[in-house]
Amino acid sequence: MNRRVVITGAAAITPIGRTEDRIMDNLLGGVSGVRPIRSDDLLARQVHCGVFGTVDEEIEYDFPRRNRKTMGPVSFYACQVATEALAQSGLTEDVLTSGRVGVAYGSTHGSPTVQRDLYLILGREGGLRRIGATDYLKSMVHTTAVNITRLFGITGRVISSGTACTTSAQAIGFGYEAIRFGRQEAMVCGGADEYDTTTVAVFDSLLACSTRWNDRPESTPRPFDVQRDGLVVGEGASALVLEELEHARRRGAQILAEVIGFGCSNNGGDMILPNAAGVRRTLLMGIEDARLSPDDVDLVSAHATATPMGDVVEARAIADVYGGSTPVLALKGYMGHTMGACGGIETVLLLHMMKRGVVTRSLNLDEVDPRCAMVNHVTQVAEMDLRVVSVQNFAFGGVNTCLMYRRFD
Amino acid sequence: MSRQTIHELLLDVFKTRFEIDNPGLDENLRETYDFDSIDAIELLSELETFLGRELTQDEKKQAMDIRTLRDIEEYVLRMQQT
């Protein structure tokens, strides 16, 4: 069985907005969502990085108490984008509760805000007694996925990837495969991560964070730029409704794009250092899975976190696979690295650009690092006929993903 | 605490903690208000505050059969005496 899979709903919460119009205005206007880090009583003053990709608009949630009580901040994000994407898809309650629809959704580590509170509680006298009945449900690694299933009564399979920066890319890929190979008719896929300074501390301690632009947050991160000095942690969420093509056609659903390939692999070695061979192999897997050649791809969305070595290795791998002419776009300059949410958010942004036939530029790429100059960076906003696009992401632990999408004409 | 005091305290907890306004004394809390086992665990920690002492595991397990506000009042009265 090898069925075609299409996207019938898409939504995102990002540091540069939620609606298509606002996101596109900010992308085309070169507006960054990176802000000074908020003060807190734990780590904000200790970390060297002073910036964060921040969602600063108020979101009005409309979830009943029975659902809210098991949601940490990350699940509020996840359930909101799932609600919006499902509304766009038009899938009805009888389908969602039929067992033929599942959820593939994750986050980097559940809800760190709730986990932080738990650690503080456990350090106190009588700490065990103070743990709330819902604290685990709010903070467990699959909290986003099962809060979505509960909100909509979804009874199909649950896949909750928790592979840091490839979390949502894997969720989309595994959801795609669940439909493609006939196990489900539709899947709600994506990832979310909430505002949290412990994540900053993790990367800060590994010397991977940007620290030289604290007084100019909008100027960092700087993917592929000669002055880049590391990543910027961000927050956000995205959800895609994937659906089997004929299922979508029969009910007259609006089709946003087709998922045509997924490559996924592990470097099988170092947990942190980027690996050109692993990246290259994964990009080729994605292209082969889509039954295309590299020349068929109109735009590559790079992972490009703006670490000094990661960007060089990625640029080399892209050049090895695509040569030097395929346009390469780095979106993290606008939002920072939204961690487990990034592959899904980058997909939603590409869907908007694909629909409008326009590509934004890689923000903060003022002077291309000569070591990254072997590919065709998008440095100016340009009209572009986007038929096939690729989204690539990589994570600690040596996990690599490559998602392939085609415009649905 | 008198039954009336317990009643008032419980109404306040139900309103502020569980967003349940003035439940009837004999209404089935699960069926009427989605008050589930997670809520019951949360309620027990509130009852410990009323009682000024920790409940034992056995005492907590006795609360798992509670279905109505009247059941809760009687449970608190019983726990007061032990």
Return the residue of B nearest to A132 by Cα: B42
A133 closest CB neighbour out of B34, B41, B48: B41
Q: Which residues of A touch B45 (CB under 8 A)?
A: 129, 132
Q: Mean pLDDT over residues B51-80, rounded?
A: 93
Report how far residue B70's alpha carbon sits from residue A205's, in angstroms, rounded to the nearest whole number. 55
pLDDT (0 to 100) of residue A226: 98
Question: Which CATH number does the domain housing residue B77 bear?
Answer: 1.10.1200.10
Which is nearest to B48 in space by CA: A259, A254, A126, A375? A126
pLDDT (0 to 100) of residue B82: 79
Cβ contact, residue pair A65, B38, below 8 Å: no
Report how far residue A392's alpha carbon sits from residue A303's, in angstroms, rounded to the nearest whole number. 6
Cβ contact, residue pair B54, A70, below 8 Å: no
Q: Are A385 and A255 in contact (CB under 8 A)?
A: no
Return the residue of B nearest to A137 by Cα: B38
Count of A–B CB contacts within 8 Å? 21
Domain count, chain B: 1
**Total-model pTM:** 0.95
Q: Which domain holds residue A87?
A: 5-406
DSSP A152-182: HT--S-EE----GGGHHHHHHHHHHHHHHTT
Q: Does A301 touch chain B (CB under 8 A)?
A: no
Q: Are A240 and A262 in contact (CB under 8 A)?
A: no
pLDDT (0 to 100) of residue A205: 92
Cβ contact, residue pair A129, B54, below 8 Å: yes
Q: Which domain holds residue B31?
A: 3-81
Question: Which CATH number does the domain housing residue A187 bear?
Answer: 3.40.47.10
Of the residues A337, A342, A377, A402, only one is catalytic, namely A337
ipTM field = 0.82
Q: Are A3 and A182 in contact (CB under 8 A)?
A: yes
B38 closest CB neighbour out of A64, A69, A129: A69
Report how far residue A75's alpha carbon sits from residue A151's, in angstroms, rounded to the nearest whole number. 11
pLDDT (0 to 100) of residue A355: 98
Report the gap between the CA of A235 and the closest CA in chain B (Å): 29
Instruction: Specify the DSSP element, H or E, that contains A300.
Output: strand A299-302
pLDDT (0 to 100) of residue A309: 95
A65 closest CB neighbour out of B19, B45, B48: B19
pLDDT (0 to 100) of residue A131: 81
CA dihedral A90, A93, A95, A98 (to 10 degrees): 160
pLDDT (0 to 100) of residue A119: 86
Domain count, chain A: 1
Judge whether A352 counts as a catalytic residue: no
Q: Are A235 and A18 in contact (CB under 8 A)?
A: no
How confident is the prediction along chain A (409 residues), in pLDDT tens digits per residue? 899 999 999 999 999 999 999 999 999 999 999 999 998 877 888 999 999 999 999 999 999 999 999 999 999 999 999 999 999 999 999 999 999 999 999 999 899 999 988 888 888 877 777 788 899 999 999 999 999 999 999 999 999 999 999 999 999 999 999 999 999 999 999 999 999 999 999 999 999 999 999 999 999 999 999 999 999 999 999 999 999 999 999 999 999 999 999 999 999 988 888 899 999 999 999 999 999 999 999 999 999 999 999 999 999 999 999 999 999 999 999 999 999 999 999 999 999 999 999 999 999 999 999 999 999 999 999 999 999 999 999 999 999 999 999 999 8
